[in-house]
Amino acid sequence: MDRPQRRYTDVMNQGDAPLLDALADYHRANRYGFTPPGHRLGRGTDPRVRDVLGEEPFRADVLASSGLDDRHSSGALLEKAEQLMAEAVGAEHAFFSTCGSSLSVKAAMLAVAGTEGELIIGRDSHKSVVAGLVFSGLQPRWVPPRWDARLHLSHPPSPEAYERAWERHPDAAAALLVSPSPYGTCADVEAIADACHARGKPLIVDEAWGAHLPFHEDLPTWAMNAGADVCVVSVHKMGAGFEQGSVFHVQGDLVDAAHLASCADLLMTTSPSVLVYTALDGWRRQMVQHGHQLLDGALRLAADVRRQVDRIAGLNVLHDELLEAEASHDLDLLQVLITVAGLGISGYQAADWLREHCRLDVGLSDHQRILATLSMADDESTARRLLDGLAALAEAAPAMQKPSPIDIPAPEDLELEQVLTPREAFFAPAELVSVKEAANRIAAEQITPYPPGIPVAVPGERLNTQVLDYLRSGLAAGMVLPDATDKSLDSVRVVRGR
């Protein structure tokens, strides 16, 4: 089904930035608050802190109400900024969050499904989705991603997999999908949305990595244009906002936007960051006025970087392998996924070496890959730093220690049985048992390689030897497992007696 590519109109003045302008007015008026925050525009901040952070973050850190706006919020600054955002991207409603997309996706889950019943969810979902299951008590009906045994990574679930899930669980309240994945691969959102809408059910898309998608036609289709009912984006990931800056968009009549806002309010801080709000507002204006041009440049730069990385012996940029039949529907080319296996080292080693020797950080690493994320802020100079670092890595690799082996399970062994709901297992009486005794026990914690933040074990799933061996060998090879109660993974938290 063809859907029009919606663009902003001039009904509102997209040159306005109500939150940003109000902050400028606040300082021009020389306002002063005998209110929080106690640092008083930085006056009380330790000079040693100001030496590192500067004064401007503290000057932007004012109260939203009884500060930026009056105590009644009569200027409706936030509402105006959100309306401008919705219009800019063609959504019906937009809501800002200063608590990241982790909050936004939880609010969406609560809004569409409440605290009882079922939710159809891609098993490649982020740990924040699992946290939403723990909060809500919902029963997940997992949709398996398409495991790639050759590349040892997962592609987004197919529309057919969601169709099968709906056939098995017709009473589920909604479906949830992650797209793009942390690797930049994208699902066929339109076909999955059609499968949901054929049953009168909404689709939530966790599009944390896709804030830039509405602003250029050569990027993967934005979830709202593909028919999603709720779309959650992290502006700090691929936009120009601060960490924790998130927006969730709503359209159609399958999700009550007012109820969604109320669910977000339950979870949201009562002290939102004006610094984060104003950056969201300013980024929207920038993208409306200059986004297409900026993304044009970023895509050209990414194409050149991809070509040059492929010329470095031992490195290979994944592209066609991610778009083969039964793989991903689309690919964000700003995500440069590089295989380092040809160098005889692991992605963990590559990431650590680049940080130590080249002062370069990459966003994701695994047993054989690293991911370099480019954005509209990058240019020839930053690209050259990356390319020089990768060339130096290739030269240094022969002298590096052979990587520790990782016991990669077969795809079917990664699909653990969900015995209890995540909420039941998380709050059940639990005990720490030796990892040797944990097989066939029910996990009471999630265990998540981070990044990308996709749990290998979810509370309520029955553990098996293959997954435990994978996690233990991965930890020894450099994998990071921040969720585990026992960071060494010598023991695992499981449901007592189960």
Residue 38 lies in a domain: no
Looking at residue 192, its pLDDT comes to 97
Is the predicted pLDDT of residue 6 greater than 50, yes or no?
A: no
Whether 256 and 311 share a structural domain: no
Backbone angles phi, psi at 139, to 5 degrees: -90, 115
Is the predicted pLDDT of residue 3 greater than 60, yes or no?
A: no
Is the predicted pLDDT of residue 1 greater than 80, yes or no?
A: no
Whether 206 and 256 share a structural domain: yes
Task: Please state the rounded mean pLDDT for residues 345-357.
Answer: 98
Q: Of the candidates 237, 242, 231, 230, which has an alpha carbon nearest to the alpha carbon of residue 277?
A: 242
Helical residues (DSSP H) of 232-289, grouped into ranges:
235-238, 257-267, 274-286
The amino acid present at 185, given as its one-letter code, is: T
Residue 342 lies in a domain: yes
Is the predicted pLDDT of residue 327 greater than 70, yes or no?
A: no
Give the chain's mean pLDDT. Answer: 94
Range of the domain at 332: 293-399
Q: What is the largest CA-CA distance in the chain?
A: 66
Whether 90 and 206 share a structural domain: yes
DSSP character at residue 435: G
Whether 200 and 258 share a structural domain: yes
Residue 286 lies in a domain: no
How many structural domains are present in the chain? Answer: 3
pLDDT category, 11, cuts 50, 70, 90? low
Residue 12 lies in a domain: no
Looking at residue 149, its pLDDT comes to 82
Picking from 259, 280, 301, the residue at the C-terminal end of a domain is 280
Q: Of the candidates 480, 346, 487, 468, which has an alpha carbon nearest to the alpha carbon of residue 404?
A: 346
411: tokens are 């795809």
Kindly report the CATH number assigned to the domain that includes residue 394: 3.90.1150.10
Is the predicted pLDDT of residue 253 greater than 50, yes or no?
A: yes
Whether 387 and 487 share a structural domain: no
Q: Of the candidates 252, 282, 255, 302, which has an alpha carbon nearest to the alpha carbon of residue 15?
A: 282
Looking at residue 329, its pLDDT comes to 84
Kindly report the CATH number assigned to the domain that includes residue 490: 3.90.100.10
Looking at residue 5, its pLDDT comes to 41
Q: Are 248 and 108 in contact (CB under 8 A)?
A: yes
User: How far lies 417's CA from each of 112, 125, 173, 225, 464, in Å?
Assistant: 25, 16, 21, 35, 10
List, for residues 392-451, the tens digit of each pLDDT value. Answer: 999 999 999 999 999 999 989 999 999 999 999 999 999 999 999 999 999 999 999 998
- Cα separation, 45 vs 231, in Å, equals 38
User: How far lies 428's CA from each of 420, 421, 441, in Å?
Assistant: 10, 11, 13
Reading phi first (left if > 0) and then psi (alpha if -120 to 50, else beta), residue 440 is in left
Kindly report the CATH number assigned to the domain that includes residue 79: 3.40.640.10
List, for residues 301-313, the tens digit of each pLDDT value. Answer: 999 999 999 999 9
Backbone angles phi, psi at 62, to 5 degrees: -120, 165
Whether 112 and 228 share a structural domain: yes
Looking at residue 147, its pLDDT comes to 87
